[in-house]
């Protein structure tokens, strides 16, 4: 069985993440979405909210499981027998971050490959932080956030980022 992990903060999950998830799920028998518990990174959404939102927008993808972990991604990959870590590569900044992450992960788990997928054209400039920016200026986020979580995302960002 080919298992992969897609790790991230998902604060919140965007249509850019979802595009990568749908494409990666086709390549593997099982895909874990790993929501990172990072005490140093200030998240707007709680871990449970992130997981609930991801479960909602991925409910039609059968070979997927949403999990959380404080552990290093490569250690988690070894634990669940994953052969690949999925990442999205939007631009040169992502490339610089990803190549150092890759070497770091590879030194811990040499048999776990990192697979970088390019975003579809409409998601090239999309990030979770740009969603927060748009909401704070009352701009429409319908093109970037799944319709089933849009209202919740707007409400939480408005409440917490005052």
Query: Which residues are the active-site residues?
Result: 17, 41, 90, 128
Stretch that binds ligand ADP, among 9-17, 70-78, 132-140, 154-162 (CB under 6 A): 9-17
Using alpha carbons, list the distances in angstroms from residue 62 to 1, 21, 157. 15, 12, 30
Sheet of 84-88: strand order equals 64-69, 30-36, 3-8, 84-88, 113-117
From CA 131, how far away is CA 120, in angstroms rounded? Answer: 17
12 binds ligand ADP per the rule CB under 6 A: no
Please name which of 45, 62, 42 lies closest in space to residue 53, comparing C-alpha atoms: 45
Measured from the CB atom, the residue of 17 and 146 that comes closer to ligand ADP is: 17
90 binds ligand ADP per the rule CB under 6 A: yes
88 binds ligand ADP per the rule CB under 6 A: yes
Number of residues that bind ligand ADP (CB under 6 A): 16
127 binds ligand ADP per the rule CB under 6 A: yes
Other Cβ atoms less than 10 A from the Cβ of 26: the count is 9
**Given candidates 50, 87, 132, 146, which one binds ligand ADP under the rule CB under 6 A?**
87
**Given candidates 52, 65, 71, 94, which one binds ligand ADP under the rule CB under 6 A?**
94
123 binds ligand ADP per the rule CB under 6 A: yes
Please name which of 78, 83, 103 lies closest in space to residue 30, comparing C-alpha atoms: 83
Contacts of 44 by beta carbon, 8 Å cutoff, 6+ apart = 11, 12, 132, 156, 157, 160, 161
Stretch that binds ligand ADP, among 23-31, 54-62, 70-78, 120-128 (CB under 6 A): 120-128
List the interface residues with ligand ADP, window 24-83 (CB under 6 A).
Answer: none
Binding site for ligand ADP (CB under 6 A): 8-10, 14, 16-17, 20, 87-88, 90, 94, 119, 123, 126-128
């Amino acid at each position: 069985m080919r298992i992969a992990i897609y790790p991230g903060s998902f604060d919140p999950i965007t249509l850019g993440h979802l595009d990568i998830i749908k494409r990666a799920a086709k390549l593997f028998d099982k895909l874990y979405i790993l929501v990172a518990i990072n005490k140093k990174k200030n998240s707007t959404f709680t871990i449970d909210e992130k997981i609930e939102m991801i479960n909602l927008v991925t409910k039609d993808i059968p070979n997927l499981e949403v999990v959380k972990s404080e552990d290093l991604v490569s250690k988690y990959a070894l634990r669940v027998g994953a052969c690949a870590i999925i990442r999205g590569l939007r631009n040169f900044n992502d490339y610089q971050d990803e190549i150092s992450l890759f070497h770091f992960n590879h030194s811990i788990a040499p048999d776990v490959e990192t697979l970088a997928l390019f975003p579809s054209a409409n998601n090239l400039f999309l990030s979770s932080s740009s969603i927060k920016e748009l909401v704070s200026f009352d701009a429409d986020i319908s093109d970037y956030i799944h319709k089933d979580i849009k209202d919740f995302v707007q409400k939480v960002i408005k409440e917490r980022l005052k």
